[in-house]
Structure 1
Amino acid sequence: MTKPRLLVLSASIGAGHVKAGESLCEAYEESFNGEARHVDFLRYASPIFSHWIEEAYYIMTKHTPSVYKLLYQMADNRFSPAKKSEVLIGLSKYRDLVREFRPHAIISTHFFPAAIVSFMYPHFSVPNGVVLTDYVSHHIWVNPNTQLFFVAHEGMVDELKQLGVDEEKIRVTGIPIRPVFDQEFNRQEMQKKLGLDPNKLTLLVMSGGNAIGPLAEILKALEQFKENFQIFVITGHNQKSFIQLTELFQELNIKGQVLGYVDNVHEYMVAADLLISKAGGLTVTEAITIGLPMAIIQPTPGQEDGNTTFLTKAGSGTYLKSIKELENFISELLANPSMIEQMRQNALKLSKHNATHSILTEIDKLIAEKRR
């Protein structure tokens, strides 16, 4: 019998969807003895349209977040025109891809390809599932011919049921992240490896691959506490932010380092006491898996609002509406160090280890049933 072939479809609107897809493919080939292919389907279907959508997303989330939130809310119904446009854009490309790769199963980590897979199911009855990459459900993920819905936590089961999804289709697995995050680490050893002072508060600031966020304002606000903390700032692929923040570090004489894109971000997360960041689904998942408390600033309206609410209700994160609130929170942490440990324990209670393996196990069951 030939190796099972898994097709994973994502879209590069936000880095999390692609990262989740890559993790699934890597694990499927390493642990399930299958052949996997990951396709950024939006770029595959229409590079020009993909570029336009990606640019529009970053412009709206940075400059007009209220507009993005309105569009997000308008799309949260079963008659949303967004689904119709998704299907029309990708039909012919999807047909070509399925005929060429002949997958035994398909997983979508973005709602754009998920809608197409469902629409084309009567013509290509390939077992399929979707991975919701946030901590809140939304109608745009719900399609009639999706066979399995993989969600981050138990509360999303009722949310999806209210959107018309049969409970038997829902699996609470967690969100797939790189296997390295599921390993056990020693914080003290990691801090030593990174040259950190174990007696000082260690802060990690991230704003995603495009460095959206008030990084300079955060550093200026934290200057008053610089004798009490050490800090890493990760700017991702944004070279302009990297240069500007490096200069600001030198000006403020802050102990720490500005980093660009790193492939060992888990090491910095293990060593840190607090992550100051937006609330992307993959970032949240990585943080709670490691047990890293979060201070959330400027979450993207819509899905990140839901992620923020999830963390704050569980006591593993706090939502800071302004730079002044950040100053107050850091001051409180320095006065009450036990707060960090409590938030850390709350985060660990939320974690769902080996989500990638759990998802692929369920998909393998679908493949086995189809092959009988």
Structure 2
Amino acid sequence: MKILILSCNTGEGHNSCARAISEELERKGDWGYIADGLAFLSTGTSKFVSGWHTRLYRYFPRLYGKGYEYAEKHPMNIKKHTAAYRMIRRGAKRLRKVIKAGGYDGVICTHLFPAMMVTGLVKKGTVTIPACFVATDYTASPGCEKVGLPTITPHPDLTGEFQAVGIPAENILAYGIPVRSMFTEKTDKAEAKRKAGLDPERLHMVIMGGSMGCGPMEDVLAEIAAGMPENIELTVICGTNKQTAEKLRRRHGENPRVHIRGYVKDMSLMLDSADLYLTKAGGISTTEAAIKGVPLVLADAVGGCESRNLEFFVEHGAAVTAKTEELGRLCVSLLEDRRKLDAMAQAIERLRMEDAAEKICDYMRQRVGK
């Protein structure tokens, strides 16, 4: 089975989801090729959109969130004869040619934009192979109503929300969000701490702002480090935000219990070593925590779909949140309250949707007939 996986470079989450699916296809002897959905418009368009997405997300998160709120209240309506419509139409034609020339058996979309392009091609009958869309946030994001493909949702509790935007019940498959295979491997917590160079007798808190290093890490770290109990170690992961990493190293480099990291490849081991995880509420980050059973403190750093993810995990008792200036105190109080931590760990384990990538690939295999 040969599958085209369409992602986008607007954040690492969509690509991570795509790689998880590709890994599973290869594990079963199939083949998955990952392509940038925006590049079918043009390479320049992809770089422009992805670049500005990163800038807004990292430096102007509230503006990013306001844009999302506007999109929620004003459904997308790209009219014919506009420049945007012509650009998307050209992109869809290029995509159709790639699908046919590549001899693909199916298409999986991990981002709304390529999912909408594929929907248009399927409706016109110019693409007849099976296709589906994988939602990577715990909400029906603006634009979901434009997707006419079978939709993989993060959790059964969200079925009603996806139906409310017009997706038929028969098109909703609550398989979960795919994560890389490394996250299904479990290392004993004490051993994970030793492998990470940590004291297994101390509690370990991981602070992360996502792949682009966003969020109130600097303020929270300063507050915790100022009066951090002796039995706590912190690892701060800055992702690709090198500027923040250097700034934090200058401020906290002399503290032996504060570890500043850049981009971390083995996040599986890092989460296995964690007693508490402070992060922004990205769909992939929260799903990885759920797979690992790590209690969450979620920072509402960006807004938009991440606010919806935050609400989902808080409502299910798997996470807590607070204002930025209160996050540090909240984290310390949780680390000193084993009963609360255990209750949150049990709650997040109940949200765990295992084998999402395998279920998606099995579904496509069934539809393809191979």
Shared fold, TM over 0.5:
yes
Aligned 8 A contact 2:215 2:302 in 1: no
Tell me the residue number matched to 2:2: 5
Aligned 8 A contact 1:16 1:282 in 2: yes
* CA RMSD, Structure 1 to Structure 2 (Å): 2.1
Aligned 8 A contact 1:87 1:119 in 2: no
CA distance in 1, matches of 2:172, 2:2: 23
What is the letter of the counterpart of residue 43 of structure 1?
A: A
CA distance in 2, matches of 1:37, 1:343: 38
What is the letter of the counterpart of residue 288 of structure 1?
A: A
Tell me the residue number matched to 2:32: 36
CA distance in 1, matches of 2:329, 2:222: 14
Unaligned runs of 5+ in 2: none
Matching residue within 46, 50, 63 for 2:46? 50
CA distance in 1, matches of 2:209, 2:66: 23
State the Cα deviation string for residues 299-345 of structure 1 (Å, max 9, x = none): 3211101100011111111112222x113213422442222121111
Matched, 1:138 2:141: yes
Aligned 8 A contact 1:75 1:81 in 2: no
Tell me the residue number matched to 2:107: 106
Aligned 8 A contact 1:299 1:308 in 2: no
Superposition pairs of residues 56-71 of structure 1, within 5 angstroms: 56-71=52-67
**How far off its partner does 1:241 sit?**
2.3
Matched, 1:235 2:238: yes
**How far off its partner does 1:91 sit?**
1.9
CA distance in 2, matches of 1:151, 1:183: 23
Higher relative contact order (CA 8 A, sep 6+): 2
SS in 2 for 1:237: coil
Tell me the residue number matched to 2:310: 308
Give the percent of matched residue pairs that are identical in Structure 1 and Structure 2: 25
With over 3 angstroms needed to count, the CA separation of the structure-2 counterparts of 1:226 and 1:246, relative to structure 1, is: farther
What is the letter of the counterpart of residue 166 of structure 1?
A: P
State the Cα deviation string for residues 247-284 of structure 1 (Å, max 9, x = none): 22225x25132112221111011101111110110000
Matching residue within 246, 250, 256 for 1:247? 250
Aligned 8 A contact 1:109 1:133 in 2: yes
Tell me the residue number matched to 2:268: 266
CA distance in 1, matches of 2:78, 2:279: 29
With over 3 angstroms needed to count, the CA separation of the structure-2 counterparts of 1:316 and 1:181, relative to structure 1, is: same
**How far off its partner does 1:245 sit?**
1.7
Pick which of 310-319 and 296-305 moved more: 296-305
CA distance in 2, matches of 1:244, 1:71: 29
**How far off its partner does 1:100 sit?**
2.1
**How far off its partner does 1:82 sit?**
5.9
Aligned 8 A contact 2:75 2:143 in 1: no
Tell me the residue number matched to 1:329: 330
Matching residue within 198, 208, 213 for 1:211? 213
After TM superposition, the score normalised by the length of structure 2 is: 0.91
State the Cα deviation string for residues 139-176 of structure 1 (Å, max 9, x = none): 41233541x11011112211111111111111111100
Matched, 1:174 2:170: no
SS in 1 for 2:116: helix
Aligned 8 A contact 2:138 2:308 in 1: yes
What is the letter of the counterpart of residue 356 of structure 1?
A: A
Aligned length: 362
Unaligned runs of 5+ in 1: none
State the Cα deviation string for residues 77-115 of structure 1 (Å, max 9, x = none): 795136965733622321231122121110100001000
What is the letter of the counterpart of residue 194 of structure 1?
A: A
With over 3 angstroms needed to count, the CA separation of the structure-2 counterparts of 1:30 and 1:293, relative to structure 1, is: same
Aligned 8 A contact 1:130 1:149 in 2: yes
SS in 1 for 2:253: helix
**How far off its partner does 1:37 sit?**
0.6
Pick which of 173-182 and 66-75 moved more: 66-75
With over 3 angstroms needed to count, the CA separation of the structure-2 counterparts of 1:301 and 1:138, relative to structure 1, is: same
SS in 2 for 1:276: strand
Aligned 8 A contact 1:46 1:89 in 2: no
What is the letter of the counterpart of residue 22 of structure 1?
A: R
With over 3 angstroms needed to count, the CA separation of the structure-2 counterparts of 1:334 and 1:173, relative to structure 1, is: closer
What is the letter of the counterpart of residue 94 of structure 1?
A: L
With over 3 angstroms needed to count, the CA separation of the structure-2 counterparts of 1:334 and 1:152, relative to structure 1, is: closer
CA distance in 2, matches of 1:26, 1:356: 9
With over 3 angstroms needed to count, the CA separation of the structure-2 counterparts of 1:79 and 1:211, relative to structure 1, is: closer
What is the letter of the counterpart of residue 123 of structure 1?
A: T
SS in 1 for 2:206: strand
